[in-house]
Amino acid sequence: MLKQSFRYDQTAARLEVDGLPDFSADHGTNAIGILSSWRLTMISGPEMEGKREHLEALMAAVIPYARLQLSGVSRIQGQDGGPVRILPLEQGHQLELISSRSGVPPLILQLDDADLADLVRCLDALRHDERVRIQWPLINHAPLPKRDLAERTPLLQRLAAPVLGTGTFLLLGLVGLLVPIPTPETPQTTPQLEEQEERREPPISNPAQAD
């Protein structure tokens, strides 16, 4: 009766986990502190299951891969020789689960963007479920290097700004060379002022004043 089962449903994915509460860590009865099994069912493929390390490897590969896809960077995720690997395809994504048993071929699933989004939602719901008292491995979301950001930007778009700025500078310089510089003009007396000066009468002298 102590066994607990939690399920996380999305349109294209269903994740189920089974386990027991860890009473040594003061867990209640409605909690999972010891994971015993998990099952993942995708609408586009068969059911997958495994141990806790397989689920942790699935989280460590799929969640960073989805973040890179949102940033426009396509890159394979999953350790070499590890149990889980996900890689981009020309149309969609390929999820590979490698069995630890010898002679068992890897399980390969073809996912589209909607399948990948639903899978990430299920994994996030499990990681943030307060009833599951398991310390999942920390997934570091390091900032993307500038090289990756530059590579996903088209070359024409990267060159547009400097080319436009240089062209504008050269055009303004050429216009400045073609426009003549105005020369200062000396003030000239207008004919009307000259006529007024000629008509001005001389001052009347005082007859009583001696010459």
Here the CATH number for the domain that contains residue 63 is 2.30.31
**H/E stretch holding 9:** strand 4-9
The verdict on residue 164 lying in a domain is no
pLDDT band for 187, please (50, 70, 90 cuts).
low
The residue with greater pLDDT, 124 or 169, is 124
In tens, the pLDDT along 10-25 reads 999 999 999 999 888 8
Calculate mean pLDDT across residues 190-200: 59
Residue 50 lies in a domain: yes
In a domain, 148, yes or no: no
Q: What is the mean pLDDT of the chain?
A: 80
Q: Is 157:49 a contact under the CB 8 Å cutoff?
A: no
Per-residue confidence at 202, pLDDT binned at 50, 70, 90?
low
What crossing angle do the helices spanning 113-127 and 52-70 adopt, rounded to 10°? 130
CB distance 109 to 44 below 8 Å? yes
Which of 12, 3, 4, 24 lies closest to 131 in space, CA to CA?
4
Higher pLDDT, 81 or 49: 49
- Lowest-confidence region among 10-14, 82-86, 166-170, 183-187: 183-187
Residue 97 within a domain: yes
Burial class (CB in 10 A: 0-12, 13-18, 19+), 119: buried
124: domain range? 4-134
Q: How many CA atoms lie within 13 A of 122 on its CB side?
A: 26
Q: Is residue 204 part of a domain?
A: no
Domain count, the chain: 1
Using DSSP's 3-state secondary structure scheme, residue 165 falls into helix
pLDDT given at position 105: 85
Higher per-residue confidence, 121 vs 197: 121
